[in-house]
A and B are shown apart, each in its own frame.
Chain A
Amino acid sequence: DIQMTQSPSSVSASVGDRVVITCRASQDISSWLAWYRQKPGKAPELLIYAGTSLYTGVPSRFSGRVSGTEFTLTISSLQPEDFATYFCQQASTFPWTFGQGTKVDVK
């Protein structure tokens, strides 16, 4: 199975801050990676697919970058609704696997 190593596990930030979250795949997955935001008590929401493509309706403050097997999610200016947990998911090969999650909380 492809392992997804996500970091950091948590980050404390303020509204307006730039936040960067990283996922590293254990093998080549090309750009087959998705990012999700999960607000407390809610289902995950798709933010980014194919490594860098913004899903419909997702604000432009979210962006994705791919460099080999390293993937980054950047939130350019954190908003109140962005205090949540973020997960990456490789979508290259079954079984789909997720990163461990990054919790973004209030500094």
Chain B
Amino acid sequence: QVHLVESGGGVVHPGRSLRLSCAASGFVFGEYGMNWVRQSPGKGLEWVAVISHDGSKRKYAESVEGRFSVSRDNSKNTVYLEMNSLSAEDTALYFCAKDRLIWFGESYGMDVWGQGTTVIVST
């Protein structure tokens, strides 16, 4: 059974850091690009970052560029999101999602999603 499980969310003060993890199972993890997508309370979906199947390519949303870093460990079937300099605007439910990239730029969509982990940035 194909599965993604996020962890690492929590309540953090503004300016601090947090690392999210996403553990995959049920598919050949090292063959697929992986995304992070977030959703603020009651709002829409915002794509955050993507990493290629082998970790050699990464892209970020402008809103997190320079503060967030995506990485992966294919030996552990896990993708990570390192978040620095957090602000209230980063408060959201963070999903990881498996991408059906054709190449690093066109895709058949994100077909497997985790249930998300909540990040709250607050004093």
A binding-site residues for B, Cβ under 8 Å: 1, 32, 34, 36, 38, 42-46, 48-50, 53, 55, 87, 89, 91-101
Contact = CB atoms under 8 A, between A and B. Distances in A.
Per DSSP, chain B at the interface is strand
Interface string B104-115: 011111110111
Given A43-B95, A43-B114, A32 B46 contact: no
Contacts of B44: 87, 98-101
Contacts of A99: 44
B50 A94 contact: yes
Interface residues of B, number: 24
6 contacts: A43-B114, A43-B115, A87-B44, A91-B109, A93-B105, A99-B44
Interface in B73-113: 95, 97, 100, 105-111, 113
B11 interface: no
Nearest to A50: B108
Contacts of A100: 44
Nearest to A29: B106
